[in-house]
Homo-oligomer: A and B are copies of this chain.
Amino acid sequence: MNHDAIGVFDSGLGGLTAVKALNEILPNENIIFFGDTARVPYGTRSRQTILRYTKEDVAFLRRHPVKMIIAACGTVSSMLGADSPVEDIPFTGVVYPAANRAAEVTKNGRVGVIGTPATIQSSSYETALHNINAGIDVTAMPCPLLVHLVEYGYTDRNNQITRLAAEEYLTPIRNAGVDTLIMGCTHYPIIKDIIADIMGEGVTLLSAGEEAARYAKICLEEQDLLTDSTQQGHNIYYVSDSVSSFRENAKNFLADAAHGQVFSSRI
- Which A residues have a C-beta under 8 Å from some C-beta of B? 37-39, 44-46, 48-49, 52, 144-145, 148-149, 151-152, 154, 160-161, 164-165, 168, 240-242, 244-245, 266
Closest CB in chain B relative to A46 CB, distance in Å: 4
Determine the chain B residues whose CB is within 8 A of the CB of A46 once the complex forms: 241-242, 244-245
A49 touches B145 (CB 8 A): no
State the number of copies, please: 2
Determine the chain B residues whose CB is within 8 A of the CB of A52 once the complex forms: 266
Closest CB in chain B relative to A118 CB, distance in Å: 10
Determine the chain B residues whose CB is within 8 A of the CB of A165 once the complex forms: 161
18 additional A-B pairs beyond A46-B241, A144-B152, beta carbons within 8 Å, are A38-B45, A38-B49, A44-B245, A45-B241, A45-B242, A46-B244, A48-B242, A49-B241, A49-B242, A52-B266, A145-B145, A145-B148, A145-B161, A148-B148, A161-B161, A161-B164, A161-B165, A161-B168
Q: Could you show 9 A-B contacts with beta carbons less than 8 Å apart?
A: A38-B45, A46-B241, A46-B244, A46-B245, A49-B241, A145-B149, A161-B164, A161-B168, A164-B164
Closest CB in chain B relative to A132 CB, distance in Å: 32
Query: Once bound together, how far apart are the Cα atoms of A144 and B154, in whole Å?
Result: 11
Determine the chain B residues whose CB is within 8 A of the CB of A39 once the complex forms: 38-39
Query: Once bound together, how far apart are the Cα atoms of A45 and B145, in whole Å?
Result: 17
Determine the chain B residues whose CB is within 8 A of the CB of A148 once the complex forms: 144-145, 148
Query: Once bound together, how far apart are the Cα atoms of A164 and B163, in whole Å?
Result: 11
Determine the chain B residues whose CB is within 8 A of the CB of A49 once the complex forms: 38, 240-242
Residue of B nearest to A117 (CB): B152
Residue of B nearest to A168 (CB): B161
Determine the chain B residues whose CB is within 8 A of the CB of A149 once the complex forms: 145
